[in-house]
C-alpha cells in the first residue's frame, strides 16, 4: 500500500520535532498506522534552514499554498500559528479535500466552528491533539476514552510558562516581575509573554476542552480570562500559610444554569496532586459521573512532546482515512447536528470561593468592620490570617 503523503507547514520547534520523531520511529509508527506516513513537502520561509533540517529527504518550498494545493498531499500539518494566514491555509486545504492536523489552539478557539463545519461538509478530518497540553493525550481522553461519561467538570494547569513562574515565586519568594525576566532568559517565556501571563493561551485551550466535554460550540469570546500579573510574593506566602498553593487554572464546569468557562489564579489545597505540579509541567483533572476524577499529567510544550501528539493525529487519520465520514469520531466528540446551545455563564453569575488581601489600619474595631461588611453581603469567612 502506498504511503500517506503529508505536507508540513512550518518547520520550527514543533515541526522539526515532528519530522525527527516520525523518521526515528518510522517502523513502529507504520506498524500502528497500517501504512507508511511520509512527509513529502515542507513549506517554510527559511528554505535553507528547512533543507538542512530535512536533509534533502523531501521537497522544500517557501510558499505554503503549493503544499495545500498539491494533489499528491493527503494530510496537511499546520504549525504556523496565529489567526491570519494559518486560517486561510487550513480552509484551503479542507476545500481541496485534504485532512488537517494542527497545534493551533488560538485558531480553533476563535474559528473552530467554521473550520469544523467546512471539514464536515467536505468529509475530511481536522485533528488537534497537539493544540491542548502538548504531549498529554487529553483531547483523545475527552473525545473517546471518557465517551461513556456525563462529564461534570474539567480543571487544568494548561500553560507551562505561568506554572513555571508561580513555582519559582513560591520556591524563591520572588515577585512576579523578577521571575518573568528569569523565565524569559531561560526560554520558558516569550519576548512578548502577554498571551501566557494574561491567561489568554490557557483560555484558548479551556475553550476547546469545554466544547468537547459538554458538546457545545467553541465560544472563546464568552470565557472569563484573568492572568497572573497582579500576583505578588505576599499572595503566594499567605496562600502557603493557609494550606494552599496558587495555580493558574483553566476551569469549565456543568451547572444547572449553564456552563462555567473561566481562567484565573486559584487556591488549591496543598495535598491535592494537581497542587504539586511544578515547573513547566501540565496537568488536567476531568471528573465524569461514571469514572469519577481522572488526572492527566505530562509535558505541555516542547519540540518532541508536542510532536508526539501531532504524529498520533497522523496515525488516527491514516487509520480512518477510508472510513465513512459519518461514522468517524466527531471533531467535538458529539455529532455535529447534536451540539447543545447550553449558555456559557458570565463570571458575575458564578458562585465560588475568593481570596482577599487587604491593607487596613492597625487599630481596634477594623476587623469587626471588615467582617460586618462581608456579612451584610452574605459572605462567610472560611479562614483568616491577620
Which run of H or E residues covers position 309?
Answer: helix 303-320
The residue among 133, 101, 125, 94 whose CA lies nearest residue 22 is 101
Q: Which three cell numbers stand for residue 375?
A: 456579612
Rounded alpha-carbon distances, angstroms, from residue 38 to 19, 311, 312: 9, 11, 14
23 included as an active-site residue: no
Specify whether the CB–CB gap between 41 and 47 falls below 8 A.
Answer: no
Q: Which of 205, 247, 253, 299 is catalytic?
A: 205
Count CB-CB contacts under 10 A for residue 67.
25
Specify whether the CB–CB gap between 160 and 133 falls below 8 A.
Answer: no
φ/ψ of 78, rounded to 5, equals -100, 115
For 158-315, where are the E strands, in sequence order? 224-225, 244-254, 259-269, 281-288, 292-299
| Active centre residues (catalytic) | 205
Amino acid at each position: 500500500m502506498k504511503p500517506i503523503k503529508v505536507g508540513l507547514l512550518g518547520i520550527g520547534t514543533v515541526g522539526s520535532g515532528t519530522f525527527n520523531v516520525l523518521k526515528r520511529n518510522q517502523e513502529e509508527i507504520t506498524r500502528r498506522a497500517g501504512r507508511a506516513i511520509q512527509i513529502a513537502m515542507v513549506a517554510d520561509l527559511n528554505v535553507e534552514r528547512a533543507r538542512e533540517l530535512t536533509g534533502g529527504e523531501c521537497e522544500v518550498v517557501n510558499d505554503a499554498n503549493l503544499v495545500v494545493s498539491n494533489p499528491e498531499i493527503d494530510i496537511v500539518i499546520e504549525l504556523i500559528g496565529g489567526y491570519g494566514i494559518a486560517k486561510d491555509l487550513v480552509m484551503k486545504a479542507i476545500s481541496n479535500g485534504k485532512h488537517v492536523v494542527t497545534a493551533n489552539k488560538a485558531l480553533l478557539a476563535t474559528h473552530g466552528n467554521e473550520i469544523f463545519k467546512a471539514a464536515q461538509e467536505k468529509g475530511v478530518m481536522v485533528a488537534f491533539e497537539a493544540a491542548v497540553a502538548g504531549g498529554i493525550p487529553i483531547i483523545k481522553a475527552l473525545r473517546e476514552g471518557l465517551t461513556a461519561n456525563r462529564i461534570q467538570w474539567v480543571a487544568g494547569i494548561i500553560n507551562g510558562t505561568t506554572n513555571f513562574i508561580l513555582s519559582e515565586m513560591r520556591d524563591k519568594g520572588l515577585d512576579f516581575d523578577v521571575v518573568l525576566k528569569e523565565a524569559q532568559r531561560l526560554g520558558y517565556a516569550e519576548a512578548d509573554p502577554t498571551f501566557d501571563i494574561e491567561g489568554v493561551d490557557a483560555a484558548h485551550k479551556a475553550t476547546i476542552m469545554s466544547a468537547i466535554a459538554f458538546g457545545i460550540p467553541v465560544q472563546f469570546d464568552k470565557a472569563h480570562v484573568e492572568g497572573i500579573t497582579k500576583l505578588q510574593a505576599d499572595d503566594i506566602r499567605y496562600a502557603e500559610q493557609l494550606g494552599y498553593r496558587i495555580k493558574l487554572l483553566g476551569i469549565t464546569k456543568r451547572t444547572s444554569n449553564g456552563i462555567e468557562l473561566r481562567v484565573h489564579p486559584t487556591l488549591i489545597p496543598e495535598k491535592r496532586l494537581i497542587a504539586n505540579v511544578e515547573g513547566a509541567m501540565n496537568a488536567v483533572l476531568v471528573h465524569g459521573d461514571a469514572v469519577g476524577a481522572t488526572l492527566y499529567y505530562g509535558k505541555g510544550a516542547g519540540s518532541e512532546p508536542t510532536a508526539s501528539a501531532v504524529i498520533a493525529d497522523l496515525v488516527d487519520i491514516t487509520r480512518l482515512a477510508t472510513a465513512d465520514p459519518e461514522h468517524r469520531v466527531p471533531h467535538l466528540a458529539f455529532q455535529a447536528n447534536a451540539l447543545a446551545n447550553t449558555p456559557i455563564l458570565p463570571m458575575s453569575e458564578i458562585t465560588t470561593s475568593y481570596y482577599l488581601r487587604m491593607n487596613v489600619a492597625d487599630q481596634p474595631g477594623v476587623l469587626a468592620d471588615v467582617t460586618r461588611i462581608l456579612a451584610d453581603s452574605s459572605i462567610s469567612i472560611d479562614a483568616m490570617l491577620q
